[in-house]
Amino acid sequence: MDMGYIDEFAARLGLQFWPERVPRHVAIVMDGNGRWARRQGLERSAGHRRGVEALENIVIGCRKLGVEYLTVYAFSTENWSRPKAEVGTLMNLLSEFADKKLNRLKENHVRVQVIGDFAGLPLLQRMALKHLMEATAVEDKLVLNLALNYGGRADILQAVKKAAALPPARLQTMTEEDFAGLLQTAGQPEPDLLIRTSGELRLSNFLLWQLAYAEFYFTDTLWPDFDEAELFRAICAYQGRSRRFGALSEE
């Protein structure tokens, strides 16, 4: 946590920030790259490119605000049905991200992990990501989960298949916590805050199990314009929520 950074944003935005109420895990649906590009009279690919820059800034911002886990929806299982050229652009950006951002991520002690059907990604991207994951494996300030070829239902289904292979006695006594340990986010706290940009009010098959008690924050800002100040606002809004997990409030 970088108190100088926090104080500067709090003063600039006129918001109160509670260091003891920082969400441990933030999940983001990075939406609106295409619309951002169109509004600038650019190709959709330019929007995705700017989207990667926005992601880089948000990773750094999360690190400074004391967030421990950041999960971003970078490519869904449904995204394969986009035009071939756009899928190609996203895949190129992905391998470029893995190669070019390694040093910056390491400097910031960010550990990168992939959730999703890794084997279904093209070989080049698998190799670049494998290197990125291995090279950042020792980092311990922020875990960045890249959701790639990810779908929430597929995640639950693969967990069910693992569960089904367990001895009947273990399956019978399985708790929700045990089951969560079979999901791709095993060992991580559940997201406290879900952010979706660009004014869409949907979950789009993201982290279905894990988001059961997350607070939702929606903004009309398009992803390429979502900057550290926007992140700060989202976290302050989260801090003002009363989380009850189905129980009554303490007040």
Give 74 or 143: the residue with its C-beta nearer to ligand FPP: 74
**What is the contact mask toward ligand FPP in residues 40 to 59, using x (rule: CB under 6 A)?**
--------x--xx--x----
For the CB of residue 186, give the shortest distance to ligand FPP in the complex, in Å: 22
| 62 scored as a contact of ligand FPP (CB under 6 A) | no
Q: Residue type for 192, please?
A: D
**What is the contact mask toward ligand FPP in residues 64 to 93, using x (rule: CB under 6 A)?**
----------x----x----------x--x
Q: If you search the block for the tokens 């060992």, which residue do you land on?
A: 187
33 given a catalytic annotation: no
Which of 218, 82, 77 minimizes the C-alpha distance to 153?
A: 77
Q: Which tokens go with 35? A: 């619309």
| 206 scored as a contact of ligand FPP (CB under 6 A) | no
Which of 131, 245, 115 minimizes the C-alpha distance to 186?
A: 115
Give 143 or 146: the residue with its C-beta nearer to ligand FPP: 146
Report the residue from 6, 9, 28, 34 that binds ligand FPP according to the rule CB under 6 A. Answer: 34
| 146 scored as a contact of ligand FPP (CB under 6 A) | yes
For the CB of residue 64, give the shortest distance to ligand FPP in the complex, in Å: 20
Give the Cα separation of 223 and 230 in Å (integer). Answer: 10
Is there a contact between 222 and 29 (Cβ–Cβ < 8 Å)?
no
Residue 61 parent element (H or E):
helix 44-65
Give the Cα separation of 38 and 32 in Å (integer). Answer: 10
What is residue 129's DSSP assignment?
H
Sheet holding 69-76, edge to edge: 110-115, 142-150, 69-76, 25-29, 193-196, 215-218
Active-site option among 7, 33, 57, 79: 79
2 given a catalytic annotation: no
Residue 154 parent element (H or E):
helix 152-164
Give 51 or 116: the residue with its C-beta nearer to ligand FPP: 51
Active-site option among 2, 7, 31, 57: 31
Which are the catalytic amino acids? 31, 79
Residues at the interface with ligand FPP (CB under 6 A): 30-35, 48, 51-52, 55, 74, 79, 90, 93-94, 97, 146, 198, 223
